[in-house]
Amino acid sequence: MGMTMTQKILAAHAGLDFVEPGQLIEAKLDLVLGNDITSPVAINEFEKIGADSVFDKSRIALVLDHFTPNKDIKAAEQCRQVRQFASKYDIDNFFDVGRVGIEHALLPEQGIVVPGDCVIGADSHTCTYGALGAFSTGVGSTDMAAGMIAGKTWFKVPSAIRVTLTGKLPPYVSGKDVILHLIGEIGVDGALYQSLEFAGEGVRSLSMDDRLCIANMAIEAGAKNGIFPVDEVTLAYGENRFRREAVVYEADADAVYEREVVINLDTLRPTVAFPHLPENTRTIDEVGEVKIDQAVIGSCTNGRMEDLRMAASILKGRRVADGVRCIIIPGTQQIYLDAIREGLAETFILAGAIFSMPTCGPCLGGHMGVLGKGERAVSTTNRNFVGRMGHIESEIYLASPAVAAASAVTGCLTDPAKLN
């Protein structure tokens, strides 16, 4: 019996030749991550047991991205606690305002995660790094604390679902539509406790930004992780970027999958998840007339350069509809700078959108675009749960940057291909 990519990476980090689904292992960690919301809880645990050192100061990342720039005094105090901890233990990868980006856009961009890594992060979207061919999964703050101390943690080896991609994405269809379509097919617990292993010739046509977006939302199907094979696209992305040597793992030909889901990219349509679960998907052709009050383009799911370029290509020479607030947020400072240099920032502002510094802000109803009672947003973020972006009677429609930008222009959910 062969192993999947995930199983191979876990075996290697546990010092074993072979692992099988259900097996409990202890694995070495290449990176332990936390943000300004989860790290304070981890630091309290760390200090409670009297720990006085971290396992490796170069393998911990502390990213102040959620409620920053500090949205209120309590958020400022939480950031202060993390800042003091980072200083005390001389953490190499500490990112504060001015250097900070949204963690899952930032760490790949900076080459801090590389193919073959085993990563835990106290943030559910840590599964993003599967796009690079790493095993990467979200945990809570206690696991983060234990990981920072010991540099290892226990895992139950997951069984796998193979997601076979065929064909090539048509215009205005992106990685976001792939993952929304998949969640619509299998449900928000369709991959519970399992790994989603993306494969097939369709992978080759997906850019790294598309893959990062797809892996990012694996958790929205309940998955432990999502993972992509390493190919020339991955290695080209990593050139002059990866800070450590990439280790490439390939699934065995006789690897065992519990099931297979096939997605033909050729026929995929722009897809929207209706309130209040990411599995409530409809194609753009089925949405009917849904009026919106706000469009958010950004987040760890869709705040990357290709996302901003797509939004700008739609907003160029057009205006955001009256009565709609369009909020565009780059994932990192580098993306922010590139967007300014390419003229995207000017396009956004001339269209009547706002273009802010990187932050998770509105995605989780933190700041920078909280929704009021009865308001509707089309958003490129990852969750449309009740109250996620604000009032419990507000509504979130998850979509791609192309759909969000087109909808900002018309004021209702819109197929970007039909914009005149």
Partner 1 sequence: MNAHGFVHRYGDNVDTDVIIPARYLNTASHSELAAHCMEDIDKEFVNKVKSGDIIVAGKNFGCGSSREHAPIAIKASGISCVIAPTFARIFYRNSINIGLAILECPEAAAAIRDGDEVAVDFDTGVITDVTTGQTFQAQPFPPFIQNIIEKGGLLNSLNA
Of 224 and 304, the one with the shorter C-beta distance to partner 1 is 224
**C-beta atoms surrounding 391 within 10 Å:** 15
Euclidean distance between CA atoms 228 and 178, whole angstroms: 14
**Strand ranges (DSSP E) for 234-324?**
259-264, 271-273, 281-283, 294-297
* Position 374 contacts partner 1 (CB under 8 A): no
* Position 210 contacts partner 1 (CB under 8 A): no
From 6, 68, 141, 381, residue interacting with partner 1 (rule: CB under 8 A): 141
Of 60 and 364, the one with the shorter C-beta distance to partner 1 is 364
Nearest to 226 by CA among 104, 117, 135, 112: 135
Q: Any idea which residue has 């010739």 for tokens?
A: 201
Euclidean distance between CA atoms 420 and 417, whole angstroms: 8
* Position 89 contacts partner 1 (CB under 8 A): no
* Position 359 contacts partner 1 (CB under 8 A): no
Of 142 and 283, the one with the shorter C-beta distance to partner 1 is 142
From 222, 275, 352, 411, residue interacting with partner 1 (rule: CB under 8 A): 222
* Position 75 contacts partner 1 (CB under 8 A): yes
Euclidean distance between CA atoms 39 and 396, whole angstroms: 28
* Position 386 contacts partner 1 (CB under 8 A): yes
From 111, 170, 275, 365, residue interacting with partner 1 (rule: CB under 8 A): 365
Token digits for 163?
A: 């997601």
Stretch that binds partner 1, among 8-16, 119-127, 317-325, 407-415 (CB under 8 A): 119-127
Query: Which class for 290: exposed (0-12), middle (13-18), buried (19 or more C-beta within 10 A)?
Result: middle
* Least distance (Å) between residue 35 CB and partner 1: 10
Nearest to 410 by CA among 322, 278, 316: 322
Structural element, H or E, at residue 120: strand 118-121
* Position 277 contacts partner 1 (CB under 8 A): yes
Binding mask 145-184 for partner 1 (x = CB under 8 A): xx--------------------------------------
From 14, 19, 31, 37, residue interacting with partner 1 (rule: CB under 8 A): 37
From 40, 101, 298, 416, residue interacting with partner 1 (rule: CB under 8 A): 40
* Position 392 contacts partner 1 (CB under 8 A): yes
- How many of the chain's residues bind partner 1 (CB under 8 A)? 45
**C-beta atoms surrounding 222 within 10 Å:** 17
Q: Which amino acid is residue 356, in one-letter code?
A: S
Q: Which residues of 31-54 are buried (b: 16+ CB within 10 A; e: fewer)?
A: bbbbbbbbbbbbbebbeeeebeeb
Structural element, H or E, at residue 163: strand 160-166
* Least distance (Å) between residue 313 CB and partner 1: 32
* Position 50 contacts partner 1 (CB under 8 A): yes
Chain residues that interact with partner 1, rule: CB under 8 A? 37-38, 40-41, 44-45, 48-50, 66-67, 71-72, 74-75, 78, 122-124, 126, 138-143, 145-146, 188-189, 192-193, 219, 222, 224, 277, 364-366, 383, 385-388, 392
